[in-house]
Structure 1
Amino acid sequence: MSDDGTTSTDDARTSEQLVELAKRRGYFFQASGAYGGVGGFYTFGPQGAALKGNVEDAWRERFAVAEGNMEIDAPTIMPEPVFEASSHLDTFDDMLVECPECGESHRADHVVEDNTEYEDAEGLPIPEVEEIIAEYELVCPACGAGLADQAVETFNLMFATNIGPGDAQPGYLRPETAQGIFVEFPRLKEYARNQLPFGVTQIGRAYRNEISPRRSIIRTREFTQAELELFVDPEDDEPDLSAVTDVDVTLYPASEQEESGGGHVETTIGDAVEAGTLQPWIAYYLGVAREWYDSLGVDMDRFRYRQHLAGERSHYASDCWDAEAEIDGNWIEIAGFSDRGAYDLSKHDEYSEDRFTVFQQYDEPRTVERAVVDPDMSYLGPEFGGDAQAVVDALETKAERDRAAFESAAETAAGESSGDGSEPRDAESVEIEVDGEHHEIPVAKTGFAVEEQTEAGEHIVPHVIEPSFGVDRLVYTVCHHAYREDEVDGEDRTYLALEPEVAPTFVGVFPLQSDDELEARARDIVDELRAVGLSVTYDDSGNIGRRYRRQDEIGTPYCVTVDYETVEGSEASGDGRSGADGAEAHSGTVTLRERDTTAQKRVSIDDLAATIEGLRTGDLTFDELDG
């Protein structure tokens, strides 16, 4: 990659060839092609779905099972109030600029980033983006018309829908899986026995109505996320960093991005925490994720963690670091690690009818001051009728959350706030909301007081640490970083050097030639390998060299070839293929071929399943095999 972040010719060529390979070999391709296709929607074919599933399984094993976290599966459609509370309806926007000639809409920040030295235009205010477009005389990427006089506007990315017929309840497709976890917190905390910290994971689809989806499955309108929401007590909970202290990481802190000539910082997790570059919880997950990405085949020479600048952080995040991979000569986000603080749970606690807190018991009882109300029901009853109790509940909540509102109203009513000696004004009131309607209650009728109480504990709103992974982008990254070209026996070869853990097919089995006996023996081996849980494909089409190339191209780590030595070995043993009782007899050898080096070794059929399973788990290496 060049220093200015532009895409080199070789990078672009790799990307083009990977996308072509993905379509031809069944990894991924644009959806609904028979109807002209729809931008931003992709279908994962047989190979891609298997690779994607393997990535999801590996994530689940590391971030759910190994960490002792729960997993849920929440709906993808949620009612409008959820997103009012989360602020997505107000803040989940991108910058849109429309071409005056062809009418195409584009993300204004992408137009700027693709054609100027600005790398993070997303974090700039709209007026500044408009000025940059005018200064550089930027044009429409589709038709070349000038955009200098076009207004840049906000565009909300939420997909709207209706829930039910008639006067349907408005709803939205979730833009992140996280809200499905947050809204269920009151029940999930019970499953965790109200003990912090605890984590909840989810793997599922999310939807964003992107202005200009592009770059294959890197930026789409429907995608898969794997997210972990860790709920912690910010005062008492700290991670155990011992397992990740010595993990090497490449960091790109905000301070380096803002400094002329700033660059990457090569350090360890432990040193970064000690220097104050990383806060402990985010540091822990950066260390875990770095090792996990490495195990999946992400090239660590093209991997970094970049801290969000203040202007680009999401509305909920106090700090955020992106895991970024170099693709096509540019850095793309493949995960985000955020400290969401108490934002989400506080919002849902405020907007919903449930409680989004956890009771934390003190070591010893404490005497504290609490704001309480004892409303005058002789006033509230006639005034509000059947809603009187809802008004009481609202007053109690208001006193708990906004004691100052009562104190200010009381001071004003007593004539203290003006300081002019005027008579007390009994009409001074506090404002509450009940079922969407606002009411003002005279403070004198609320029975507001501040009392000393002895408490065994307190209800706290947990803070949230969120590692959020983009599965589709990771699939693309793994394939891109695994793409290889070389020459074998005088012929050009393309292959994907996928790690065994994620390869969609682990072993291919071939008869050497079209021969009934070879084919029957090969199919028996396929059945035996599948019976032990291996992903196996059978191929008897074309010459053996072409079959090897096909498997190389989809990333199959090993191939087994059944030849005449296989069946001759069986005949020499005197057993044949099956005994007198019909039980299958194993003897002879097969050729086992390794993808990356194309090296071949003879392996006993009796040991074949155990050998391949050992190669899959890493207990064996190909070099350790005899033959």
Structure 2
Amino acid sequence: MDRYEQVIELAKRRGFLWNSFELYGGTAGFYDYGPLGSTLKRRIEHIWRELYVIQEGFMEIECPTVGIEEIFVASGHVGGFSDPLCECKQCGEAFRADHLIKHIVEEADGLTDEELDRTIAQNNVKCPECGGDLGNAYDFNLMFKTQIGPGNGRKGYLRPETAQGMFVDFMRLARYYRDKLPFGATQIGKSYRNEISPRQGVIRLREFTQAEAEIFIDPRTKTHPNIQRFENTVLNLYSDASQDKGESEIMTVREAVDKGSIAHEFLAYQVALVNYFLQRVGIAPDKLRFRQHRKDEMAHYAIDCWDAEILTERFGWVEVVGIADRTDYDLSAHANMSKTELSVYIEYEQPRMMEKFVVKPNMGKMGPMFKGKAKVVAEALKALAQEALEKEEIKVLVDGEEITIPRDMVEFAQETIKVSGENIVPHVIEPSFGIDRILYSVMEHAYDEEIVPAKDTTDDTEDEARIVMRFMKEIAPIKVAVLPLMTKEELIEPAKQIAARLRDKGILVAYDDSGTIGRRYRRNDEIGTPYCVTIDYDTLEDNTVTIRDRDSMQQVRASVDTIDDVLYEMIYRERKLETAGKPL
């Protein structure tokens, strides 16, 4: 088995991950999180919230996972959220056309359907399942479509990302933050993409968890007030220029901004924060890099975008976080669709005298003539340039209808006015995290196998293999295992009392009295439990217990009286094992 198979086998056996719907044969693109997997996932999300909500101050909101069609028309998902699909003419299996030729064409993502068809035909690419001929490629929209309400209802979609809810709530958020830029909102929740052929386990799912922050900033200045926090942080950057050379560059955050590798401080700060988060949850620093989107793959709304990529054994470099400067694209798109201005009023330090072209519709005349449309027509008039207002006929376009407006209904002129501020459409910096991919990567990087010398084995007679998940202590699903040496009442009772004290301290504890003590140690090594506490007959004599460390397998003898405080400090305050008691 390769590392992926080893991790998934352990994950299924020990209750981290299970294939969904197994009772009915399952289907690709869905996974259940078992007791340990669900707990591990919550630990990762908790640290994410600590960084983005508590430390950065970007409060969390929760929006529906179903959205009405207009939202996704405005965002561009209805028109452009597609992958190229082709189907086998013989067995009917569907495939992503660009994935079928990745071994032939280096940049297959950007090819048109016609170019994909030509490459498949010229290289005689066949169905990977049955060897049959493939049909022509066509665009397949990845959103799950639904209907809201009975009958004809209202067309809707399961959201393909959590971001749009935060954009739609922008005006409410601006009011909450008293219109003071920068401000941000966060959201952790399910997103849905109807992937064509998800064959990469938890790396590519149809239902997955995203953690996103939308940070609204003043586009006139993109300096970050706390950039000094990460200025000297060293990053592994695979920039656009580096990709031409085929090797990444190691530089500090300050060097990356000064050299122009990263567009500005606000974006650089978020790249560094992602770097800090991923290493804190257990991603190996030497298997983490930040790849810049190349000019020909940059999204039309972004001026700079970086992907945090993690090196995995089977899948190579896997994107787990995208950090983008989305400019004002999203707010402008929703403003156009909703006919509502999405901006923040920014006051100047001192009022300014400015020449301004002022349009004054005569609402007294327009009301009777245009009735319910009068306000919309007036807004359309205000948007016209001076040249359009000076023409013989003044015309505006309202809801696709061209309307002619009598000249006596509008006045306009250049005026000198005192201006106290201006409305600004903020730009958006977005770090978007794929929690499922991060969780798998954490498990792969934590997975270890080693040979334990006979003196440390479960039967003390021969060397044996040990599987251990070396999770960071603060994300380990189970923090402490409490183990009575034998299933005797005089040992079980104090063991359960210690377990209760640890739970009162907020520590998730497993109580285990099944099997030999060596086998119980191995079981807890496999699930990544940092510490085991063993209660034996010496406990009854001197009120001490054995604390065993998962990684080193070293043991100390510690007092029962302070066991809860000591273990808490070892898990969350980096207290060393040797300070906890007397070595054995």
The TM-score by the shorter chain falls in which range? over 0.9
Take 2:389 and 2:109, find their aligned partners in 1: how far apart are those partners? 46
Take 1:83 and 1:609, find their aligned partners in 2: how far apart are those partners? 51
Matched, 1:531 2:500: no
Take 2:184 and 2:406, find their aligned partners in 1: how far apart are those partners? 42
Runs of at least 4 residues of structure 1 off by over 4 A? 376-383
Aligned to 2:148: 163
Take 2:50 and 2:38, find their aligned partners in 1: how far apart are those partners? 18
Matched, 1:263 2:218: no
Checking the alignment, whether the CA contact within 8 Å between 1:108 and 1:152 is kept in structure 2 is: yes
Aligned to 1:350: 336
Percent of pairs identical after alignment? Answer: 44
Cα gap change, 1:564 to 1:390, in 2 (>3 Å)? same
Greater mean deviation of Cα atoms: 40-49 or 308-317 = 308-317
Q: Deviations over 1:150-209 (max 9, x none)?
A: 322111111111112223111111111111111001111011000001111111111111
Take 1:360 and 1:470, find their aligned partners in 2: how far apart are those partners? 34
Cα gap change, 1:131 to 1:268, in 2 (>3 Å)? farther
Q: Deviations over 1:115-149 (max 9, x none)?
A: 3362x4223333333333233322222222243xx
Aligned to 1:438: 401
Q: Which amino acid aligns with 2:397?
A: E
Aligned to 2:557: 602
Matched, 1:451 2:414: yes
Take 1:466 and 1:389, find their aligned partners in 2: how far apart are those partners? 35
Matched, 1:212 2:160: no
Aligned to 2:259: 275
Q: Which amino acid aligns with 1:429?
A: K
Take 1:450 and 1:325, find their aligned partners in 2: how far apart are those partners? 59
Q: Secondary structure at the match of 1:341?
A: coil
Take 1:361 and 1:432, find their aligned partners in 2: how far apart are those partners? 32
Cα gap change, 1:439 to 1:293, in 2 (>3 Å)? same
Matched, 1:468 2:456: no
- Give the counterpart of 1:391 among 377, 382, 385: 377
* Correspondence 1:249-398 to 2 at 5 A: 249-257=235-243, 259=244, 261-279=245-263, 280-329=265-314, 330-375=316-361, 380-381=366-367, 383-396=369-382
Q: Secondary structure at the match of 2:410?
A: coil
Matched, 1:611 2:574: no
Checking the alignment, whether the CA contact within 8 Å between 2:162 and 2:187 is kept in structure 1 is: yes
Q: Which amino acid aligns with 2:450?
A: D
Take 2:488 and 2:227, find their aligned partners in 1: how far apart are those partners? 59
Matched, 1:125 2:103: no
Aligned to 1:561: 534
Greater mean deviation of Cα atoms: 28-37 or 504-513 = 28-37
Matched, 1:241 2:227: yes
Matched, 1:135 2:122: yes
Q: Secondary structure at the match of 1:276?
A: coil
Alpha-carbon offset, residue 530 of structure 1: 0.5
- Give the counterpart of 1:551 among 521, 524, 533: 524
Aligned to 2:579: 624
Structure 1 length as normaliser, TM-score? 0.87
- Give the counterpart of 2:449 among 479, 485, 489: 485
Matched, 1:116 2:104: yes
Take 2:114 and 2:298, find their aligned partners in 1: how far apart are those partners? 19
Cα gap change, 1:237 to 1:307, in 2 (>3 Å)? closer
Take 1:623 and 1:145, find their aligned partners in 2: how far apart are those partners? 64
Alpha-carbon offset, residue 368 of structure 1: 3.2
Checking the alignment, whether the CA contact within 8 Å between 1:91 and 1:315 is kept in structure 2 is: no
Q: Secondary structure at the match of 2:223?
A: coil
Alpha-carbon offset, residue 325 of structure 1: 0.1
Alpha-carbon offset, residue 389 of structure 1: 3.3
Alpha-carbon offset, residue 443 of structure 1: 7.1
Checking the alignment, whether the CA contact within 8 Å between 1:26 and 1:47 is kept in structure 2 is: yes
Aligned to 2:491: 518
Aligned to 1:95: 84
Q: Which amino acid aligns with 1:598?
A: M
Count of residue correspondences? 569
Alpha-carbon offset, residue 382 of structure 1: 5.8
Checking the alignment, whether the CA contact within 8 Å between 2:395 and 2:402 is kept in structure 1 is: no
Matched, 1:589 2:544: yes
Q: Secondary structure at the match of 1:312?
A: coil
Aligned to 1:106: 95
Alpha-carbon offset, residue 377 of structure 1: 5.7
Take 1:445 and 1:252, find their aligned partners in 2: how far apart are those partners? 61
Q: Secondary structure at the match of 1:311?
A: coil
Q: Which amino acid aligns with 1:431?
A: L
Runs (5+) with no aligned partner, structure 2: 458-462
Q: Secondary structure at the match of 2:431?
A: strand
Take 1:233 and 1:608, find their aligned partners in 2: how far apart are those partners? 51
Cα gap change, 1:305 to 1:273, in 2 (>3 Å)? same
Checking the alignment, whether the CA contact within 8 Å between 2:211 and 2:434 is kept in structure 1 is: yes
Q: Which amino acid aligns with 2:297?
A: E
Alpha-carbon offset, residue 550 of structure 1: 1.1
Aligned to 2:460: none
Q: Secondary structure at the match of 2:101?
A: helix
Cα gap change, 1:378 to 1:67, in 2 (>3 Å)? closer
Greater mean deviation of Cα atoms: 123-132 or 372-381 = 372-381
Checking the alignment, whether the CA contact within 8 Å between 1:189 and 1:195 is kept in structure 2 is: yes
Q: Secondary structure at the match of 1:214?
A: coil
Q: Which amino acid aligns with 1:143?
A: C
Alpha-carbon offset, residue 472 of structure 1: 0.7
Q: Deviations over 1:86-135 (max 9, x none)?
A: 1111111111121111111111222222x3362x4223333333333233
Aligned to 1:6: none
Take 2:568 and 2:442, find their aligned partners in 1: how far apart are those partners? 22
Take 1:354 and 1:387, find their aligned partners in 2: how far apart are those partners? 15
Alpha-carbon offset, residue 32 of structure 1: 1.4
Take 1:271 and 1:34, find their aligned partners in 2: how far apart are those partners? 55
Checking the alignment, whether the CA contact within 8 Å between 1:95 and 1:107 is kept in structure 2 is: yes
Q: Which amino acid aligns with 1:507?
A: V
Q: Deviations over 1:61-89 (max 9, x none)?
A: 01121112211111111111111111111
Q: Deviations over 1:564-609 (max 9, x none)?
A: 111233xxxxxxxxxxxxxxxxxx1111111112111111111211
Aligned to 1:144: 131
Q: Which amino acid aligns with 1:358?
A: V
Alpha-carbon offset, residue 428 of structure 1: 5.5
Q: Secondary structure at the match of 1:132?
A: helix
Q: Deviations over 1:523-566 (max 9, x none)?
A: 11111111111010011111111111111111111111111111
